[in-house]
Copies of this chain bind each other. A is one copy, B any other.
Amino acid sequence: MEPKYLFRRYAEVQNEGEDDMINTREILAENVHLSEDGKSVVIIDQTKLPNVTEYLTLSTAEEMYRAIKELQVRGAPAIGICAGYSIYCLAQQITESDFALFYARFKKDKEYLDSSRPTAVNLSWALKRMESVVTANRDKEISQIIELLGEEAVSIQREDIEMCRKISEYGLSLLKEGDGILTHCNAGPLATSRYGTAIGPMLLGNERGMKFKVFSDETRPLLQGARLTSYELQKAGIDVTLICDNMASLVMKNGWVQACFVGCDRIAANGDAANKIGTSGVAILAKHYGIPFYVLGPTSTIDMNCKTGEDIVIELRDEDEIRSKFYEKPMALKEVKCYNPAFDVTDHELIHGIITEKGILRPPYTESLAKLF
């Protein structure tokens, strides 16, 4: 049976007027999607960004495994979406018509993909969700099961888009035409699908013809702001200015910033928010200059078992990321020691609002968060 063509490029869908949440920009439309014949997964190769924009067509299990393992696709939600489409494509390749044989082969493919990045939660979450489609429909024909798998893969992406869209909508309600927004690190389309979180409001507003000026901290040492955020915004046609992290103070002093929007990795029950290293510094500068500071993320990021930021353990990373990574030659003596924390915690008192898909939470967070759950 010919697989149903489930997922078309957004640009095409838009031309047909079928979808009201369309973005015509290349980067937003084509991060992770099915090929035109619906048999392969197409991804943007993130390891080559920002110098080369290259799409990879993944058709075999080995190609899919490598894409996830080697970070050609990265960002927890994007990995989950890619895994969903991947296992759907692999299921189409199974020639068995007997359910037990089909399921055995499906399970083998699933476990192989799942082993590509053992610690990525969204990867195994998406694969488990796909497997449950198979087991819940064991009485149906294989061709029907494959069709349902395709629909489930699309749902995974649609739900992520919808969640990001809601966050973006709430965030956008805080902005007005011409605003300057400062962001740190990357919480955009490349890590998710379509809008992303922290830069979603600007992408959504841009679709509606609003103009913003975005300042993207380069975000040392891994430069996600330079490599990814400024790339996404530039490709989306938004006015973006890349700055070094230590320039944020002057940019704010110049009066160019009306709001700070950042993503988050974990939010404690009192509103303390862990995010990429440097976020707490941005929040302190924003307070000094009287600029509102917002944290954007799905409610799944809120960890009510975590009382305060004190409970969040900060990952320490390789010192060479500071001394030599990305450089032509090392920039510090090998024997100079470095402190390289990956995250910091922003005190809840510095946060004007936490923007989720369920609305904007305001202080006191112990109350607004408790009410939410």
A75 on the B face (CB < 8 A): no
Complex formed: what's the CA distance from A277 to B243 in Å?
Answer: 11
Check A331 for interface membership: any CB of B closer than 8 A. yes
Binds B, one of A28-36, A111-119, A187-195, A337-345: A337-345
Binding site for B on A (CB under 8 A): 50-51, 184, 215, 217-221, 223, 226-227, 230-231, 234, 240-251, 253, 277-278, 280-281, 284-285, 287-288, 314, 322-323, 326-333, 335-341, 344
A326 to chain B, nearest CB (A): 5
CA distance A338 to B240 in the complex (A): 8
Q: Are B246 and A337 neighbours in the complex by a CB distance under 8 Å? A: no
The answer, among B326, B333, B344, for a CB contact under 8 Å with A234, is B333
For residue A276, give the distance in angstroms from its CB to the closest CB of chain B. Answer: 8
Q: A220-B220, A323-B242 are in contact. Are A231 and B277 (CB under 8 A)?
A: no
The contact sample of 15 A-B pairs, CB cut-off 8 A, is: A50-B331, A50-B332, A50-B333, A217-B246, A226-B323, A226-B336, A230-B332, A231-B332, A234-B333, A242-B322, A242-B336, A242-B339, A246-B281, A281-B281, A326-B328
Q: List residues of chain B with CB within 8 A of the CB of A336.
A: 50, 226, 230-231, 234, 240, 242
**Closest 5 A-B residue pairs measured CB to CB?**
A246-B278, A249-B281, A220-B244, A245-B246, A226-B332
CB-based contact A242/B285 at 8 Å = no
Which residues does chain B contribute within 8 Å of A328, judged by CB atoms?
Answer: 326-328
A326 contact from B241, B245, B331, Cβ within 8 A: B331
Q: What is the CA–CA distance of A323 and B326 in the complex, to the nearest angstrom?
A: 12
Residue of B nearest to A248 (CB): B281
Q: Which residues of B contact A314 (CB under 8 A)?
A: 250
How far apart are A275's CB and chain B's nearest CB, in angstroms? 11
Cβ-defined partner of A327 (8 Å) among B231, B234, B327, B338: B327
- Identify the closest chain B residue to A314 (Cβ): B250
Q: Which residues of B contact A333 (CB under 8 A)?
A: 50, 230-231, 234
- Chain B residues lying within 8 Å of A281, measured Cβ to Cβ, are 246, 248-249, 281, 285
Report the minimum CB–CB distance from A1 to chain B (whole Å): 44
Nearest Cβ distance between residue A196 and chain B, in whole angstroms? 17
Which residues of B are found within 8 Å of A234, using beta-carbon distances? 333, 335-336
On chain B, the residues within 8 Å of A223 by CB distance are 331
Q: Residues of B contacting A221 with CB < 8 Å? A: 244
A299 CB to nearest chain B CB (Å): 26
CB distance from A173 to the nearest CB of B (A): 28
CA separation between A101 and B31, bound complex, in Å?
Answer: 75
Q: Within the assembled complex, what's the spacing in Å between the Cα atoms of A247 and B329?
A: 23
A288 partner, pick from B245, B278, B288, B332, beta carbons under 8 A = B288
Given contacts A220-B220, A331-B218, A336-B231, contact A341 B247 (CB under 8 A): yes
A333 to B51, CA, bound (A): 6
CB-CB under 8 A from A245, the residues of chain B are 220, 244-246, 278
Chain B contacts for A330, CB-based, 8 A? 50-51
Judging by beta carbons under 8 Å apart, are B332 and A277 in contact? no
Chain B nearest CB, measured from A247 CB (Å): 6
User: CB distance B337 to A241 under 8 Å?
Assistant: yes
Residue of B nearest to A246 (CB): B278
